[in-house]
A and B are shown apart, each in its own frame.
Chain A
Amino acid sequence: DAKTTQPTSMDCAEGRAANLPCNHSTISGNEYVYWYRQIHSQGPQYIIHGLKNNETNEMASLIITEDRKSSTLILPHATLRDTAVYYCIVRSIQIQGAQKLVFGQGTRLTINP
């Protein structure tokens, strides 16, 4: 699996957009970009994933660069409950079987009132 690089920590003001970057310069053509977050003492929560095109759902938007070597997760209007560790993971989709998810250190996002 391609390795990802994320900033260790970020701060954002409540109500503002939080933009979390992720570098995945060794990503291959069949690998998707996934984002998860983990609130303290809970299991990780799925946020969004994408392959080439930008994606948006009720939680966030995912912007993937044209060369796919980096991406940005956008939380449009951050709230205090968005304080968590955010993990960017790249993974190929296999036809059969389940896949390992390898977690990096993630970005500790703190939303300040």
Chain B
Amino acid sequence: GAVVSQHPSWVICKSGTSVKIECRSLDFQATTMFWYRQFPKQSLMLMATSNEGSKATYEQGVEKDKFLINHASLTLSTLTVTSAHPEDSSFYICRTRTGEYGYTFGSGTRLTVV
């Protein structure tokens, strides 16, 4: 089946630095990528939607200048957490649509900001 490869699976960074998370669609083209954030013991919250070749659409309350999304090709979408702070520590997950009914998720990235 369709696979979305997400890297890194976990990262620890210092406050004030930036972290880039990549999601690659393997063997298929992902026109649209959805990015979610999940805090411990909570559900997934949609952050933004990226479309190949255009600007991302952010959900209410998500800072677009802090969470930079790039979807430059049909197989790669990236989320960059800029000037990370401890409150940005979370589990970040990407998702795309595969086929008429299917949705495939990446394996997630656990970000810890110290």
Q: Do A and B come together as binding partners?
A: yes
Classify the secondary structure of A's interface with B.
loop
- Given A102-B46, A103-B44, A42-B97 contact (CB < 8 Å): no
Apart from A44-B44, A97-B32: 17 A-B pairs, beta carbons within 8 A: A34-B103, A41-B91, A42-B108, A43-B93, A43-B95, A43-B107, A44-B93, A46-B102, A87-B43, A93-B100, A93-B101, A98-B97, A100-B49, A101-B46, A102-B46, A103-B36, A103-B44
Task: Tell me, yes or no, whether A57 is within 8 Å of chain B by CB.
Answer: no
Q: Does B67 contact A (CB under 8 A)?
A: no
| Residue B31 at the chain A interface, CB threshold 8 Å | yes
A residues sitting closer than 8 Å to B (CB atoms) are 32, 34, 38, 41-46, 49, 87, 93, 97-106
* CB < 8 Å neighbour of B110 from A38, A41, A93: A41
Kindly list chain A residues whose C-beta atoms are within 8 Å of the C-beta of B70: none
Q: Which residues of A contact B100 (CB under 8 A)?
A: 93
User: Which residues of B are in contact with A by a Cβ distance under 8 Å?
Assistant: 4, 6, 31-32, 34, 36, 42-46, 49, 91, 93, 95-97, 100-108, 110
Contact across chains for A46 and B103 when beta carbons are under 8 A apart: yes
What is the CA–CA distance of A44 and B106 in the complex, to the nearest angstrom? 8
Are B32's CB and A43's CB within 8 A? no
Do A46 and B34 touch across chains, with their CB atoms under 8 A apart? no
